[in-house]
């Protein structure tokens, strides 16, 4: 049995050092507990039996007791005496995040995982969770109750709260993972060593903070759809947890806005670099650029049409078209420079806008020419003008993307 404590009081007699294993475990599964005297022993025995049968690698189960006041610690110690792969860590302060941080930081395993003591998640998802990390394919892995293929049994209240929370994460922190709160996650040890010192939360927001930092650092997060059955006896205070989570979201927004989180250094050290495409005719990031360009184009087109209609009440069609197109073209070039082609900073901004105006001139020629042809016959109505302008703008948009990508914002010109 191996047990440590976070207390700073008078030193207690040091327990004997554990016998050294010939090899370190590949997987260390941490079970954080607080006053879980009823569920702990069945959980650990079931988990131990499953790992012994299903996992082809050396493993360890670490019971991380954070300041339990019942017999949880004594039960954990008895399990460690009974099962050689079980160890115990004791902390004198509460906090699931604190317990996970301490256990993961001290572990010598290659892959670190954790699961809730109630075993709400089917253990059959454990090997799919850790396999991409052991192989090096992914950096973190999470069980998801909201991913396609997951099967979940829980009440409507928890389902509603979970989905609302993940919508908040997507809107406020641009999270791309689907389920931040499922108590079933894993991380590679080398990644944990870099990220854990940056995680401030010691409670339930620990998971979310870790995942957001990983995503912003360019790490790959693998998601496993799980079978999950809600524990009706869960003692989690939903209101207090939700309040703490929202405070954590606000703190991270401030940190990113102020630049106090060293994301760029972590990204440079651990982040996955863009795939180098060497085959001719297969440009990198094309799909992502098309999506962003299209989104910006839709916004620009709507703004253009609104400006055109407003200006058309006081000036002629050609003048309204010129002014509306010029204003939206400058904004469109700036937005595509930043979001579609990832060009940041002021370097080259003037040249990009100048070349963007040349592209604008080609678009103007298309739309103005279309209007001139339309007005060559009988006087058309406003609806006919709008239809012709939309079609002309579609052609101009395709031309604009090609010129932006292959000329204005082309790298290594």
In DSSP notation, 144-164 reads ESSSTT-EEE--HHHHHHHHH
Whether 78 and 86 have beta carbons less than 8 Å apart is answered as no
Q: Which residue in this structure is represented by tokens 């650990």?
A: 44
Whether 196 and 101 have beta carbons less than 8 Å apart is answered as yes
Strand order in the sheet with 111-115: 86-91, 59-66, 27-33, 111-115, 184-188, 140-144, 221-225
Tell me how far apart the alpha carbons of residues 302 and 292 are, in angstroms, rounded to a whole number.
Answer: 16
| N-terminal to C-terminal alpha carbon distance within the chain | 63
Token duo for residue 84: 């050689």
Catalytic residue list contains 207: yes
CA R_g for the chain: 29
Indicate which residue of 28, 39, 201, 207 is catalytic.
Answer: 207
| Alpha helix positions (H), 226-342 | 238-258, 263-270, 286-312, 317-335
Return the H-helix or E-strand segment holding 364.
helix 349-375
Token duo for residue 255: 């940190």
- Which of 63, 73, 3, 67 shows the shortest CA–CA distance to 32? 63
Active-site amino acid positions: 207
């Amino acid at each position: 049995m191996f047990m440590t404590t976070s207390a700073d009081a008078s030193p207690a007699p040091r327990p004997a050092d554990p016998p050294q294993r010939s090899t370190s475990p590949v997987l260390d599964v941490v079970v954080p507990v607080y006053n879980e005297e009823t569920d702990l022993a069945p959980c650990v025995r079931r988990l131990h039996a499953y790992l012994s049968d299903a996992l082809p690698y050396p493993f360890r189960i670490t019971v991380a007791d954070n300041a339990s006041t019942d017999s949880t610690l004594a039960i954990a110690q008895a399990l460690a005496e009974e099962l050689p792969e079980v160890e115990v860590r004791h902390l004198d302060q509460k906090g699931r995040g604190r317990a996970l941080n301490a256990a993961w930081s001290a572990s010598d395993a290659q892959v670190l995982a954790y699961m809730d003591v109630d075993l709400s998640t089917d253990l059959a998802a454990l090997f799919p969770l850790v396999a991409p990390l052991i192989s090096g394919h992914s950096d973190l892995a999470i069980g998801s109750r909201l991913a396609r293929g997951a099967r979940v049994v829980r009440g409507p209240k928890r389902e509603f709260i979970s989905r609302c929370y993940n919508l908040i994460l997507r809107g406020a922190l641009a999270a791309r993972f689907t389920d931040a709160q499922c108590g079933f996650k894993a991380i590679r040890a080398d990644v944990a060593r870099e990220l854990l010192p940056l995680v401030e939360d010691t409670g339930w927001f620990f998971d979310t903070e870790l995942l957001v930092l990983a995503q912003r650092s360019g790490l790959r997060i693998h998601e496993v759809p799980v079978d999950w059955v809600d524990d009706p006896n869960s003692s989690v205070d939903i209101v207090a947890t939700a309040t703490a989570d929202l405070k954590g979201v606000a703190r991270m927004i401030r940190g990113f806005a102020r630049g106090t989180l060293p994301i760029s250094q972590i990204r440079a050290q651990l982040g996955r670099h863009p795939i180098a495409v060497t085959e001719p005719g297969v440009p990198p990031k094309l799909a992502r650029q098309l999506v962003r360009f299209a989104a910006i184009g839709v916004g620009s087109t709507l703004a253009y049409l609104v400006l055109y209609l407003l200006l058309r009440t006081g000036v002629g069609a050609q003048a309204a078209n010129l002014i509306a197109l010029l204003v939206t073209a400058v904004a469109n070039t700036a937005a595509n420079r930043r979001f579609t082609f990832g060009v940041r900073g002021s370097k080259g901004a003037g040249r990009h806008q100048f070349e963007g105006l040349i592209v604008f001139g080609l678009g103007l020629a298309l739309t103005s020419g279309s209007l001139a042809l339309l007005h060559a016959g009988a006087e058309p109505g406003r609806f006919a003008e709008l239809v012709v302008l939309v079609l002309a703008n579609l052609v101009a948009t395709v031309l604009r993307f090609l010129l932006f990508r292959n000329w204005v914002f082309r790298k290594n010109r």
